[in-house]
C-alpha cells in the first residue's frame, strides 16, 4: 500500500481564506482530498494539485474518514451539513466530523446531536490564526468533543497546526473561541479609537504606537493590527464582518448565562458602524476608518 492510501481520506467543505490554506496543507502532506465550495472557481488550483472536486457536500463526504468544515457562520454551516444534499446525508458511519468555523453554541450542540444520529462523532475545533497561519500550518485548534475522536483526527489536524488544545466535552472548543474573539474584538475596537486619537492630535504616530505595542497594553494582535491601520492596508486576513458576527455570537452566549458583555456590546456597535460604512469585506483593521472621518 502506498503512503497516500495508508492515510485517511479527507473532505474539506469551504475554500475561503482559511479553508483554502487548510486544504493546501492537507494536499502538501499527501492526503487524498475531496473539496467542496459553493463557488467552483476557487477549486481550480486544488484540482491541479490532485484534489477531487465534488458538486455537493453529500458527494464530497461519500468516501471521507475525516470531514472538515470551514465556513462563515451558523447559516452556512447548517446549509453545508443539513441542507439539500448536505454532508450528513452522505457521511460514512464512524467518520469524524470537524467543524472548524466560529459558530454559536446552540448550533454546535444541535449539530453534534445530528452527527450522532448518523453514527458519526463531531469535534467542534475552531482555530486561532488567520490567512498566513492557515497557509503555513501554524493554526491553533481549540477542540471540544471526545478524546477518542480527537486522536482519530489528530493525523489531519497536525499538518495544519502549531498546537492542538483539547478543551473538553462537545461545545468547549466553540465556547473558548467565542471568548477569545470577544477579547480580540474589544482590543481591535479600542485600538482603532487610539490610532485615530493619535492621528487627530498631530503627534508622531509611529513613535507613540511603538511604545503602545511594546508596553503593558500591547499584545501580538495589537502589533499586527496597528501596522495595518497605520498603512491603511485592509487586504483581508480576517474579514471585518466575521468579527462582527463573532462578537454577536459572544454577546448572545454570555447573555444566556445572565452576563451582559458591556465591552462586547460596545465593540459590536463599532464593527456594525464599520459595516454600514462599507468596510465589511475588508480586513477587520478597517474598523479604524470610521474614526478618521469624524
User: Which residues carry out catalysis?
Assistant: 177
Neighbours of 43 (CB within 10 A): 19
**Cα→Cα distances 49→27, 135, 155, 205, Å:** 7, 15, 20, 45
Asked whether 149 and 115 are in contact (CB, 8 A), the reply is no
Cα–Cα distance for residue pair 280/214, rounded to 1 Å: 29
Residue 117, all three cell numbers = 444520529
CA 262 to chain centre: 24
Closest CA to 26 of 100, 134, 116, 113: 134
Cα–Cα distance for residue pair 222/229, rounded to 1 Å: 10
| DSSP annotation string for 140-176 | EEEEES-HHHHHHHHHHHHTTEEEEEEEESTTHHHHH
* DSSP type of residue 280: T
| DSSP annotation string for 81-120 | HHSTT-GGGTPPTT-EEEE-S---HHHHHHHHHHHHHTT-
Look at the block and give the residue holding cell 453554541.
105
Cα–Cα distance for residue pair 271/266, rounded to 1 Å: 9
Amino acid at each position: 500500500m502506498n503512503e497516500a492510501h495508508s492515510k485517511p481520506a479527507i473532505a474539506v467543505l469551504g475554500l475561503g481564506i482559511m479553508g483554502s490554506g487548510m486544504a493546501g496543507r492537507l494536499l502538501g502532506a499527501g492526503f487524498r482530498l475531496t473539496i467542496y465550495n459553493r463557488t467552483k472557481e476557487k477549486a481550480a488550483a486544488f484540482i491541479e494539485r490532485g484534489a477531487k472536486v465534488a458538486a455537493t457536500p453529500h458527494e464530497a463526504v461519500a468516501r471521507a474518514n475525516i470531514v472538515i468544515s470551514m465556513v462563515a457562520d451558523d447559516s452556512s454551516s447548517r446549509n453545508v451539513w443539513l441542507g439539500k444534499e448536505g454532508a450528513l446525508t452522505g457521511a460514512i458511519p464512524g467518520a469524524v466530523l470537524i467543524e472548524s468555523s466560529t459558530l454559536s453554541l446552540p448550533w454546535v450542540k444541535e449539530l453534534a446531536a445530528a452527527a450522532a444520529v448518523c453514527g458519526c462523532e463531531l469535534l467542534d475545533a475552531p482555530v486561532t490564526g488567520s490567512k498566513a497561519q492557515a497557509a503555513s500550518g501554524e493554526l491553533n485548534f481549540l477542540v471540544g468533543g471526545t478524546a477518542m475522536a480527537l486522536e482519530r483526527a489528530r493525523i489531519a489536524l497536525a499538518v495544519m497546526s502549531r498546537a492542538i488544545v483539547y478543551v473538553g466535552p462537545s461545545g468547549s472548543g466553540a465556547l473558548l473561541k467565542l471568548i477569545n474573539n470577544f477579547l480580540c474584538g474589544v482590543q481591535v475596537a479600542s485600538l482603532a479609537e487610539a490610532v485615530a486619537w493619535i492621528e487627530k492630535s498631530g503627534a508622531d504616530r509611529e513613535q507613540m504606537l511603538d511604545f503602545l505595542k511594546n508596553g503593558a497594553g500591547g499584545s501580538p494582535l495589537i502589533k499586527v493590527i496597528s501596522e495595518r491601520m497605520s498603512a491603511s492596508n485592509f487586504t483581508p486576513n480576517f474579514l471585518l464582518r466575521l468579527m462582527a458576527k463573532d462578537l454577536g455570537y459572544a454577546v448572545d452566549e454570555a447573555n444566556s448565562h445572565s452576563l451582559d458583555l458591556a465591552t462586547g456590546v460596545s465593540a459590536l456597535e463599532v464593527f456594525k458602524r464599520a459595516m454600514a460604512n462599507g468596510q465589511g469585506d475588508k480586513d477587520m483593521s478597517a474598523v479604524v476608518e470610521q474614526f478618521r472621518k469624524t
